[in-house]
Amino acid sequence: ETGVTQTPRHLVMGMTNKKSLKCEQHLGHNAMYWYKQSAKKPLELMFVYSLEERVENNSVPSRFSPECPNSSHLFLHLHTLQPEDSALYLCASSRGTGLAGVGETQYFGPGTRLLVL
């Protein structure tokens, strides 16, 4: 049973649409992450939040806008996406402050499968 939930599980949107992905962690963790998983490419880190503050923005285009209203919730707002943005978007959380140090474990949600037409 995962302690990280994501909604929706599947999303189809046009390039002019605005949508939001939601992530909730029930583990009492301090750090939350957004990753993009595309076919034939490694998992790409997009954003890291530690104690509700963004600590990393991994050169992500501005059409992706994250929001972390509290330590349990993380959103990814999507606006004027491109077809190449179609991918599985994974949310994760970790106990620490977002430092991927020794023994730091990230717990992943099931992901949102996004298709941009």
Partner 1 sequence: TQLLEQSPQFLSIQEGENLTVYCNSSSVFSSLQWYRQEPGEGPVLLVTVVTGGEVKKLKRLTFQFGDARKDSSLHITAAQPGDTGLYLCAGAIQGAQKLVFGQGTRLTINP
When asked if residue 102 is in the footprint of partner 1 (CB under 8 A), the reply is yes
**The tokens 């189809």 sit on which residue?**
12
CA 27, CA 29: separation in Å to the nearest integer? 5
Name residue 67's beta-bridge partners: 75
The amino acid that residue 88 corresponds to is: L
Closer residue to partner 1 in complex, CB, 11/48:
48
Choosing from 19, 45, 63, 95, the residue that interacts with partner 1 (CB under 8 A) is 45
When asked if residue 21 is in the footprint of partner 1 (CB under 8 A), the reply is no
Q: Cβ of residue 75: shortest distance to partner 1, in angstroms?
A: 17
> How many chain residues are in contact with partner 1, going by CB under 8 A?
28
When asked if residue 60 is in the footprint of partner 1 (CB under 8 A), the reply is no
Among the listed residues 94, 65, 85, the one whose alpha carbon sits nearest the alpha carbon of residue 13? 85
